[in-house]
């Protein structure tokens, strides 16, 4: 795994194509040095405040005289379900097949081969701004990186941190990133609602930097090392050394003061999460609780504070669905990346060029890697 600063990105969206391309290129170069493998293709996860989900339902009559449902029937009902009014600046990026219903029998994942006269389909359609997707494609094109797919981040993170039973029962996934927080609700095995809040962990860092008159780098270290989610969790007698913006002079501030600054932003974040869940109309259906993931979930006391504030059971979402990885990588901030491995293993065919062979034969291998995942 390779990490670099995400230049050219604000609130989950690319605002500077040139810098974003440089950041991606630097990350890939570091990864190629670590692995000795040239990287030509990638699955790209994305988020941003311009995401929306539309749930739709469609019905068709089975066309086969024998009433056996075939792929044509399935394609027709899916096409009908995707037929929604879309603003000119939006595009469909995912159509998630939630369930099929055959002659009133619901909960069917794949109706092909079944017998019935009436075929229904329920889908979740994820929309994104056309410009946001184009900017991702332009950034990767600058460095000649081919896209295997552009996937909404909660779909990737959910593969790494959510249990199958949680997805079935009803679970909220709250991914606290740097510039945004994504709130998603899963039920009956698939995503049902999702929205992106324009507040994330970097806002806590900025608050600390402004109020304590220090640099962003110092504020970030302070947040990670001494930060707690609420003043009640702070040690009132503990004093912390803080450098000024120039990094020279030192002064002391109590941990309680630091907690006060952090708490104001965390309370705002939890208010917005609650408002989104209330807007989804799912507060009484979150039977499996809330899973906090993303780098912001690492803040000391964040899980406890969220549980007390929202009055819903909350757990930390580490990417435990991938086996055999180092504990250095098995962290909430890597949930979407490691979820991308699982997603790719299921849906993307990898291409590996074996240069050790004298003849230089290119071998195409489908890596399903099922034994690596629980």
pLDDT at 264: 95
Q: State the maximum Cα–Cα separation within the chain, in Å, rounded to a whole number.
A: 84
Q: How far is it, in rounded angstroms, from Cα 281 to Cα 31?
A: 43
On whether residue 8 sits in a domain, the answer given is no
Q: How far is it, in rounded angstroms, from Cα 225 to Cα 206?
A: 16
Q: How far is it, in rounded angstroms, from Cα 290 to Cα 200?
A: 17
162 CB neighbour count, 10 Å cutoff: 22
Nearest partner of 342 among 197, 155, 143, 200, judged by Cα:
155
On whether residue 322 sits in a domain, the answer given is no
Q: Tokens 């000391």 appear where?
A: 300
User: Per-residue pLDDT tens for 306-316?
Assistant: 999 999 999 99
What is the residue-wise DSSP string for 335-361? Answer: HHHHHHHHHHHHH---EEE-TTSTT--
144 vs 5, 139, 158, CA distance in Å? 20, 9, 29
Which ranges of 15-113 would DSSP assign to H, the alpha helix? 17-35, 71-81
Handedness of CA 328, 297, 14, 193 (dihedral sign): positive
On whether residue 255 sits in a domain, the answer given is yes
User: Per-residue pLDDT tens for 224-269?
Assistant: 999 999 999 999 889 999 988 887 788 899 999 999 999 999 999 9
On whether residue 292 sits in a domain, the answer given is no
Compute mean pLDDT per 10 residues along the chain, 374 residues long, and list them: 89 90 95 93 88 93 91 94 91 91 93 94 94 93 92 94 96 95 94 93 94 93 93 91 85 93 96 96 96 95 96 95 84 94 78 46 37 42
Q: How far is it, in rounded angstroms, from Cα 370 to Cα 374?
A: 8
User: Per-residue pLDDT tens for 7-47?
Assistant: 898 888 899 999 999 999 999 999 999 999 999 999 999 88
pLDDT at 361: 33
CATH number at 85 reads: 3.30.1490.110
In the numeric block, which tokens belong to residue 255?
């941990």
Q: How far is it, in rounded angstroms, from Cα 130 to Cα 110?
A: 30
Q: Among 103, 130, 157, identify where a domain stops.
A: 130
On whether residue 195 sits in a domain, the answer given is no
Strand pairing partners for 129? 90
Q: Among 83, 108, 130, identify where a domain stops.
A: 130
Q: How far is it, in rounded angstroms, from Cα 202 to Cα 218?
A: 13
CB-based contact 227:299 (threshold 8 Å): yes
- If one counts the domains in the chain, the total is 2
Task: Count CA atoms within 13 Å of residue 374 on its CB side.
Answer: 14
On whether residue 319 sits in a domain, the answer given is no
Question: Could you tell me how many helices (H) and strands (E) the chain has, helices first?
Answer: 10, 17
Q: Among 130, 149, 175, identify where a domain stops.
A: 130
Q: How far is CA 9 from the centre of its chain?
A: 16
Supply the range of the domain harboring residue 213: 201-266
| Those residues with Cβ within 8 angstroms of residue 128's Cβ, 6 or more apart along the chain or in another chain | 46, 48, 50, 51, 90, 91, 93, 152
On whether residue 250 sits in a domain, the answer given is yes
Burial of residue 69 (number of CB atoms within 10 Å: 0-12, 13-18, 19+) = buried
Q: Please, what is the angle between helix 17-35 and helix 130-142, to 10°? A: 50
pLDDT at 49: 80
On whether residue 65 sits in a domain, the answer given is yes
CATH number at 242 reads: 3.90.640.10
């Amino acid at each position: 795994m390779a990490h670099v600063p995400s230049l050219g990105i604000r609130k989950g969206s690319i605002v500077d194509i040139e810098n974003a391309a440089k950041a991606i290129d630097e990350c890939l170069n570091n990864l190629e040095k670590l692995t000795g493998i040239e990287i030509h293709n990638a699955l790209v996860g994305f988020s941003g405040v311009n995401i929306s989900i539309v749930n739709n339902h469609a019905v068709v009559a089975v066309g086969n005289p024998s009433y056996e449902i075939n792929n044509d029937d399935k394609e027709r009902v899916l096409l009908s379900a995707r037929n929604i009014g879309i603003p000119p600046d939006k595009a469909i990026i995912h159509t998630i097949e939630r369930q099929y219903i055959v002659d009133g029998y619901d909960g069917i994942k794949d109706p092909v081969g079944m017998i019935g006269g009436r075929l229904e389909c329920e889908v979740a359609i994820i929309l994104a701004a056309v410009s946001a997707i184009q900017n991702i494609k332009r950034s990767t094109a600058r460095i000649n990186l081919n896209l295997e797919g552009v996937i909404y981040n909660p779909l990737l993170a959910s593969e790494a941190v959510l249990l199958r039973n949680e997805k079935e029962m009803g679970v909220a996934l709250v991914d606290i990133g740097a510039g945004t927080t994504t709130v998603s609700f899963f039920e009956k095995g698939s995503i049902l609602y999702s929205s992106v809040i324009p507040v994330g962990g970097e806002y806590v860092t900025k608050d600390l930097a402004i109020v304590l008159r220090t640099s962003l780098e110092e504020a970030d270290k302070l947040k990670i090392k001494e930060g707690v989610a609420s003043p009640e969790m702070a040690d009132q007698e503990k004093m912390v050394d803080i450098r000024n913006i120039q990094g020279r002079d030192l002064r002391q501030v109590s941990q309680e003061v630091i907690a006060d600054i952090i708490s104001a932003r965390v309370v705002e974040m939890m208010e917005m999460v609650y408002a989104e869940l209330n807007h989804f109309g799912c507060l009484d259906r979150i039977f499996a609780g809330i899973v906090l993931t993303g780098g912001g979930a690492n803040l000391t006391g964040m899980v406890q504070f969220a549980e007390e504030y929202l009055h819903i059971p909350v757990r930390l979402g580490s990417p435990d669905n991938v086996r055999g990885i180092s504990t250095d990588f098995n962290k909430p901030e890597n949930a979407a990346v490691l979820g991308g491995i699982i997603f790719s293993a299921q849906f993307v065919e990898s291409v590996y060029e074996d240069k050790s062979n004298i003849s230089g034969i290119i071998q195409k291998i489908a890596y399903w890697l099922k034994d690596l995942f629980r």
